[in-house]
Amino acid sequence: MRVEIRHEEGGTRLRARCLSPERLPVEVDVHVALPAGHETLSVVVPWSERRFQYTSKQTARPASGGVRVGSEVLRFDDAWGTLDHGRGRWPRSVRWNWGSASGRSDGRTVGLQLGGKWTRGTGATENALCVDGRLTKLGEELEWTYSPDDERAPWAVRDRGGDHVDLVFTPFHTRRARTDAGLLANRTDQSFGRYDGRIRTEDGEHVAVDGLLGWAEDVRMLW
């Protein structure tokens, strides 16, 4: 696969080509806009003086473009993009939850950025809500409740007391990946589905979340 990412005026363009002779060729050309004043989350998570991760999570960014699969072209101009950028030095063994969703709900533009497990004990989190381009940073760890062995079972994601985040994620598709190469191992369960529930901004405003399309994942890495 060949991937090209270019930052340009007003957003980011992603182009990708997969020309495997064993499958239909796939080409992607997507522009993810960054509206003026749209706030995004960037944090540094420290494990020690020498191990850290800088991560930037950018939700609810308008996206447009197209995907070609073989001779079929699928175009879209009313979609949403989430960009994830990071740099750092990870511990050898790590586990994380990551959930995200973007779209329109309750008459608002809503972006969810939900993390867990890998930030415990560091004093930092990667949790935030984006409503109409305004970010609400969540400083506490979230509670994740789900059944790893049942890919259709709902997930619950809440802060303590459900004050800012009280959500249920219902999967409709799960991608599982397993690698065990001795010194390197990976277990990824990534589910795609919809979020329902409610959130509260730092201004105290409650926003209903109704069928917001996104994903949630449980990942364990040894590297």
**Neighbour tally for 206: CB within 10 Å:** 11
Between CA 211 and CA 169 the distance in angstroms is 9
The reported pLDDT for the residue numbered 20 is: 77
Which DSSP string corresponds to the chain? -EEEEEEETTEEEEEEEE--TTS--EEEEEEEE--TT---EEEEEESSSS-EEEEEEEEEEEEEEEEEETTEEEEEEEEEEEEEEEEEE--SEEEEEEEEEEEEETTEEEEEEEEESTTTTTT---EEEEETTEEEEE-SPPEEE--TT-TTS-EEEE-GGGSSEEEEEEEEEEEEEEEE-SS-EEEEEEEEEEEEEEEE-TTS-EEEEEEEEEEEEEEEEE-
pTM of the complete model? 0.94
Contact status, residue 6 vs residue 13, Cβ threshold 8 Å: yes
Report in angstroms the alpha-carbon separations of 113 from 17, 139, 175, 178: 28, 12, 20, 25
Q: How many CB atoms lie within 10 A of CB 155?
A: 21
Task: Look up residue 79 and give its two tokens.
Answer: 């979609």
Per-residue confidence in pLDDT tens, the chain, 223 aa: 899 999 888 999 999 999 877 788 999 999 999 999 999 999 999 999 999 999 999 999 999 999 999 999 999 999 999 999 999 999 999 999 999 999 999 999 999 999 999 999 999 999 999 999 999 999 999 999 999 889 999 999 999 988 999 999 999 999 999 999 988 999 999 999 999 999 999 999 999 999 999 999 999 999 9
Q: Answer for the pair 69, 24: CB distance below 8 angstroms, yes or no.
A: yes
Beta strands 26-33; 41-46: pairing state:
unpaired
Tens of pLDDT along 71-103? 999 999 999 999 999 999 999 999 999 999 999
Q: pLDDT, tens digit, for every residue of 13-37? A: 999 999 877 788 999 999 999 999 9
Region class of 37: left (phi > 0), else alpha (psi between -120 and 50), else beta: left
Domain covering 42-56+82-222: architecture: Beta Barrel (2.40)
